Amino acid sequence: MELRQLEYFVAVAEEENFTRASERVHVAQSGVSAQIRRLERELGQQLFERTSRAVRMTEVGAAVLPYARAALDAVAGVRAAVDELGGLVRGRVSVGMIVAGSALELPNLLAGFHREFPGIEITVAEGNSDRLLELLAAGELDLAFVGLSTPPPAGIETALLSDEQLAAAVAPGDPLAHRTQISLKALRDRALIALPRGTGMRKALDDGCAAAGFQPRIAFEASDPVMLAEFAARGLGVAILPRSLADARAEQLRAATIISPELRSRLELAWRAAGPAGPAARMLLARARAHPALVPTADPRPESVH
């Protein structure tokens, strides 16, 4: 008994026609018929009743069918297991990361993954969140670290990594330096320093200003939040930054938490809802979601980001 005989038998049983079955398995009809006859001779029983108009299974054929299907499923399972292991030995993974995302602990994650699976090729692409989400949806990235201020696009799932308030940061001599909180309306006529469009933190700012009834006056843009802080420290305007970044530069900056409306910075790990296509990418996604440095320690807040 050969696997191809079982495959042809199942095809004929399901199609109820030798011609359609032969097209399904991409074998000449005479070849399918010959293999079915060989199987019947080996079993000593007729599996099909053949007429000029139809093909019907015999009682024996109906009894054999579930076992034939199970045998073929088992073989497919063996092949899938081998392919899965091969993917973890020789696979490829593409990861997207927001510009200047060094705080993600991504190098540590990838280093540990590479030590365990040295044969897997890993590529990392930097970009703004909007672009990374486009590449992710198109299947050009397997997972991405992005900033979001709204729910993710359809077909994309995310896990929250960090969530914090945004602040208005200025040089110590700025008129706003004494403030600890500030409304967006108070920044209406100020020169702002912000990330470019396409980033989550910029979208949070633009949406917040729209809700407050004005368009932000952007004087300087930079893709690195650290550069925004440097511009503000030199008196070039008001930098819109995550509160933690502004506080880390307390000697250079004075920061006021933005309220009315509150703006938040949210960083998320994103992947396609259907899951990455390859076993290597699925494994890396699982490791990323479980990595201690990438798991939030506080309850998520509802809005927000870079």
Same domain, 66 and 151: no
pLDDT higher than threshold 50 for residue 99:
yes
Domain assignment of residue 273, given as a range: 90-160+266-294
> Are the C-beta atoms of residues 98 and 234 closer than 8 Å to each other?
no
Same domain, 179 and 241: yes
pLDDT, one tens digit per residue, over 58-88 is 999 899 999 999 988 887 777 766 656 665 6
Same domain, 26 and 85: yes
In a domain, 301, yes or no: no
Query: Which residue type sits at 167?
Result: A
CA 203-206-211 angle, 5° bins: 120
In a domain, 304, yes or no: no
Same domain, 110 and 174: no
pLDDT band at 104; cut points 50, 70, 90: low
Same domain, 142 and 273: yes
In the prediction, which pLDDT does 286 show? 87
Same domain, 85 and 95: no
In the prediction, which pLDDT does 109 show? 86
pLDDT, one tens digit per residue, over 173-222 is 999 999 999 999 999 999 999 999 999 999 999 999 999 999 999 999 99
